Structure 1
Amino acid sequence: MQAGIFKVCLVVITAIVNHPLLFPNNDSATDDLIIQKLKEREENLKLQQLELEQLLSHREPPREEEAEPENQPAGDESLWDFWSVMSMIVFLMIEVWRQDFLDNTSQEPSKEEDDLLFTGSSCHGIPFPSKTMLAIFHDQYIRTTTNDAARTKEFVEGFADDLLEALRSVCNRDADMEVEDSICVGSMYENWRVNKPLICDLLVPFAPPEPYYFRCQPWVSSKSIASHQQNFRSILVCGPEDASGCVCDRKKLGEDMLCLLHNPSSKKKVPKDVNLLCSKDSNYLDTDQVMKWFQTAITKAWGRISHKYEFELTFSHLDSPGALRVKFKSGKVISFNISPVVQYEDSDLYFISQFPGKNSSDELSSSIQWNLSFAVYERRFLKDVAKHLPGNSCHLSCLQIMTFLHSKQCQITGPRGLTSYHLKTVLLHLLLTRPYDDWNNIMLEDRLRDMFKSLEKCLLEKKLHHFMIGNSKLPDTVSLPEHFRTAEPLNLFRSFVLNRDLYQKTLTMFYEMIKNATVVINEYSFHIPVGPSIKN
């Protein structure tokens, strides 16, 4: 009897050990295979049960002196029934547990499985528009838009100069901020903007009245800039009580000696009632205060020159410092951004309260944080690299087509974590890695596919490095300050690591954008026969 009980227990243990839930194999089995294995195990159990019965039936009869009471056989049968019932209960519990577990795992996939859903997708096998269709689309749609951009830039630059001159005339030079000439930056002046409305971006440096001055401070005191705050800094408003750094402030030069830089007899008196636009209870420049000051100054300046023009000027976004909108009597509308900025030392870096078309509250946690703009250096790089590229280069055409497809996809699925600045950054990196001759216009399709592949790789890795910060491959002609070149690289896709839902939506939108590329380009081409699609 003990041997029988031992075999029954051995059967139960064997079934548990071999169960696919508790000890799963590396290879996933189908439902039919699992059912077949369960049937085989059932047959094995039946055979083992028959062997146990035969073993019990062929047992030698006990001796008379060792004979058991008459009720012992009934006890053996009841004990056998007890172990049989226990075995069935164990099997049933395991089976119910397995079904519940499979249902839960099918409804709640793990994070790793979410990522694997997209690694199977790839832009390599997705059809792209043919070379002929791309060339037709570029000539008939993008080139026409570029011609409109030239006229828009000419009007905006002339009007902005007139508006800023009027702004200076209405400001108190002794108590108000001093405004410099505007600087043209962005996609319109880099000649790749194609999405409408065509919007010009201009930077307007400003500074406090003498003897006050701005001092830009990093958020970290060390020489290396923190990876998560390399684009943010604070701006300290310094007054005449702060040491100027000249020797005459620290030493007595004598009665017969004068400092040629700081003549005490010509020192300017500190103006009264100066609005330094600082945050409350601090000496740091406040973005909200700057926005209110600049909008008020623009309104006064327009009131002085409005009689010269036959159009209306309004603010298109009240939460942006200088987002302006011109509306002519004919109904035509031209929009542009004039953003007040602070120059960083003697460089072409500028601190801006808010990038045009972007909500600053999504990134900045404090009103004394300022974004760092590399727009001047990026425009300079594109201008310098164009000197080495073929005369009919396709690098800007690739960026134009890619941003066009991205904008149309955003209209369908809504905006996600991908922006036109990310697309531009991908192009800038490719311009450094590919030979100049590869950017000939006849290779437009190949370079466009390279951009999509590179962007896909960055999305899957959740890593896209800023082109300027920490890029040791930058040419010397860019003249970027050295401590930004040697800083730790800045990951522009860091938000995807922190926000998983945004990442999944952005990946979905990216692959849908590629799939819809051929259809969208065909719709915006003027009834030209569609050429065959090319696949890898």
Structure 2
Amino acid sequence: MDAITFLYMLLQSLIHYLQSVGDVWDEETHWRMELRAKRLDRKRIQLEWEVEQLALRQRGEAWGDLLWFALQPWQVWAVVGVLVLLLGLYFFWRKRNHEAENSNEEDEEDHVLGNDLRWLLERIQWPVQDLQAGCEWAIHLMDNYTIYFGHILSNSFYPVLQHAIGVGSAFEGWSPREQDVVYRVLIPMTPPRGHSFHLELDSAGHRHVRNFRVRVQLECTCTSERQAETVLCFLHHPEEELRSNQDPSLLHTLCTDSYLDVHKTARWFYQLVRAVWPALPQSHSWHLKLLPSRRSCQFQVTDGTESFRIEVLFGVRRGDSDVFVSSQTREARTLSTTWPETYDVAEVKFFKYIAQQAPPDTLHLRCLQLFSRVQLGFGFSNYMVKTIIMHLLNTIPMSQWRRRYFLRRLGDINVNLRRCLEEKCLNHFVIGNRNLPQEISLPLDILSAEPPNLIHHLARDLASHSQAMSEYQDLQHQTLVSPF
């Protein structure tokens, strides 16, 4: 028996042993019998080897010395080490195979959806501009404006302008526009000294919207600390003295019938923007262009290569909450003294909260971007689609909005859109929603209110409902997503 034969028999024993482990690992009796057989077999081999060695030594053949060297103790331990390594690799292979079997279903799903998902994501046209950088630039510009507004208006009786708050789609992280992104900001206004604001709900004939009027009331300043600054009280000083020694009150500048006028406020703000622009650092390298608007201030700032379009809305905060009444209009004909209630600040805070909770590969904004793109030309508003997605974001865990679930979430949006159209009902997301994050502050009447139906018009107009269902079928083909 030579060394090659011995190694061959050793490998045969190893293979036989691994096979027995893989096939009948849990049969203890069989394993013990195999072990006993291997011991007897090794004993037999050892005896045969000793007889062979004795014969070789007696014959004095040179290859016997070589065989003896090959079987030195350190070589034996090396062989044992190889066996242990192979056995460890075998167990590792079994473990990986078990894990692969458990995840096999998910891997198959990824493989099936991979091509469709990649193709669908490529269809989503993301805005050309860097939204985050654009939002930061717009807020920085408005902060510079606010500083100069404070200096100019410090001794006047115009509304006090606070720091701008970013609202709208761009500040939520998406945009329905690809080329021309609008950066919308809301400037809260507080009453000047000697004045107070009082919000009056005016929803007569408007069950599904909440409109307010901002009544301006004069307050006595006779006992105020500013008396030493020769500030005259609008209530107790003669009108002749007031006209000759003090600027007119807010009631005589931006109000109509004691109510703050949106149109007058917008024109006044336009004049401020134009007058202050040359003093801003941005004016050295950027060009300002004012755009027409009656209920807001819109302007465009360009430097030859970049362009930012900004819309400034004005608002009055309801208490300490995240709800405002603003100059933004929701109807074609809105009175100049009407200030609709807006929930833009609360919605932006909701999207920021979602962004903080979301994994890195979350695609909820891609879903919003896709639907806002494909619904162009249909009767569904971006706000309607956004409301559906906000409801889903508030109920489906963020871990289920990751890339691998993208098509499922598109299916959910499609199913919810269809259900809303069939039931002719889509509840407002903020009003009456007690499941909002604690970071969002709402007035008590908003929390307890019945959520208005955003598509109430479909319930009373059968022709509009039929058209909406037809447009939904067309939209379904556009998105290439079938309901689950």
Q: Into which bin does the TM-score normalised by the smaller protein fall?
A: 0.5 to 0.7
1:326 aligns with 2:301: yes
- TM-superposed CA distance for 1:370, in Å, is 0.9
- TM-superposed CA distance for 1:205, in Å, is 1.2
1:353 is aligned to 327
1:338 is aligned to 312
- TM-superposed CA distance for 1:139, in Å, is 5.9
1:292 is aligned to 267
In the alignment, the residues of structure 2 paired with residue 421 and residue 227 of structure 1 have an alpha-carbon distance, to the nearest angstrom, of 19
Bigger CA radius of gyration? 2
1:362 aligns with 2:332: yes
- TM-superposed CA distance for 1:194, in Å, is 5.2
CA 1:500–1:317 in 2, change beyond 3 Å: closer, same or farther?
farther
CA 1:180–1:312 in 2, change beyond 3 Å: closer, same or farther?
same
- TM-superposed CA distance for 1:436, in Å, is 3.8
In the alignment, the residues of structure 1 paired with residue 134 and residue 363 of structure 2 have an alpha-carbon distance, to the nearest angstrom, of 23
In the alignment, the residues of structure 1 paired with residue 420 and residue 307 of structure 2 have an alpha-carbon distance, to the nearest angstrom, of 37
- TM-superposed CA distance for 1:304, in Å, is 4.1
1:449 aligns with 2:431: no
User: What's the secondary structure of 2:425's corresponding residue?
Assistant: coil
Answer whether contact 2:262 2:295 (CA < 8 A) is retained: no
Between Structure 1 and Structure 2, how many residues are aligned? 359
1:437 aligns with 2:399: yes
Given residue 362 of structure 1, which amino acid in structure 2 is its aligned partner?
A
- TM-superposed CA distance for 1:493, in Å, is 1.1
TM-score normalised to structure 2 length: 0.65
Answer whether contact 1:216 1:235 (CA < 8 A) is retained: yes
Answer whether contact 2:315 2:324 (CA < 8 A) is retained: yes
Gaps in structure 1 of 5+ consecutive residues: 1-128, 250-258, 519-532
CA 1:354–1:309 in 2, change beyond 3 Å: closer, same or farther?
same
2:35 is aligned to none
CA 1:395–1:507 in 2, change beyond 3 Å: closer, same or farther?
same
Please give the residue correspondences for 1:111-510 in structure 2 after superposition, counting only pairs within 5 Å: 131-138=114-121, 142=125, 145=127, 148-171=130-153, 173-193=155-175, 195-196=177-178, 197-219=180-202, 228=207, 230-241=209-220, 268-270=231-233, 271-276=246-251, 277=253, 279-280=255-256, 282-305=257-280, 308-330=283-305, 332-355=306-329, 360-362=330-332, 364=334, 366-406=335-375, 409-410=376-377, 416=379, 418-510=380-472
Q: Deviations over 1:396-431 (max 9, x none)?
A: 22112111212xx32xx6xx3x21111111011112
Q: Deviations over 1:242-296 (max 9, x none)?
A: xx9xxxx9xxxxxxxxx9x87977894335412445543x211122221222222
Answer whether contact 2:420 2:426 (CA < 8 A) is retained: yes
CA 1:318–1:226 in 2, change beyond 3 Å: closer, same or farther?
closer
In the alignment, the residues of structure 2 paired with residue 508 and residue 363 of structure 1 have an alpha-carbon distance, to the nearest angstrom, of 29
Answer whether contact 2:158 2:192 (CA < 8 A) is retained: yes
In the alignment, the residues of structure 2 paired with residue 390 and residue 427 of structure 1 have an alpha-carbon distance, to the nearest angstrom, of 17
Answer whether contact 1:227 1:489 (CA < 8 A) is retained: no
Could you say what the CA RMSD is over the residues aligned between the two structures, in angstroms?
3.3
Please give the residue correspondences for 1:83-94 in structure 2 after superposition, counting only pairs within 5 Å: none
- TM-superposed CA distance for 1:351, in Å, is 1.2
In the alignment, the residues of structure 2 paired with residue 389 and residue 156 of structure 1 have an alpha-carbon distance, to the nearest angstrom, of 25
Q: Which moved more, 1:156-165 or 1:168-177?
A: 168-177
- TM-superposed CA distance for 1:303, in Å, is 4.5
Instruction: Decide which structure has greater helix share.
Output: 2
Q: Deviations over 1:420-471 (max 9, x none)?
A: 1111110111123334432222000010110011011112222111111112
User: What's the secondary structure of 1:516's corresponding residue?
Assistant: helix
In the alignment, the residues of structure 1 paired with residue 219 and residue 369 of structure 2 have an alpha-carbon distance, to the nearest angstrom, of 50
User: What's the secondary structure of 2:249's corresponding residue?
Assistant: coil
User: What's the secondary structure of 1:273's corresponding residue?
Assistant: coil
- Identify the structure with bigger relative contact order (alpha carbons < 8 Å, sequence gap 6+): 1
- TM-superposed CA distance for 1:234, in Å, is 1.4
CA 1:390–1:509 in 2, change beyond 3 Å: closer, same or farther?
same
Given residue 351 of structure 1, which amino acid in structure 2 is its aligned partner?
V
- TM-superposed CA distance for 1:203, in Å, is 0.8
Answer whether contact 1:131 1:444 (CA < 8 A) is retained: no
CA 1:283–1:512 in 2, change beyond 3 Å: closer, same or farther?
same
User: What's the secondary structure of 1:476's corresponding residue?
Assistant: coil
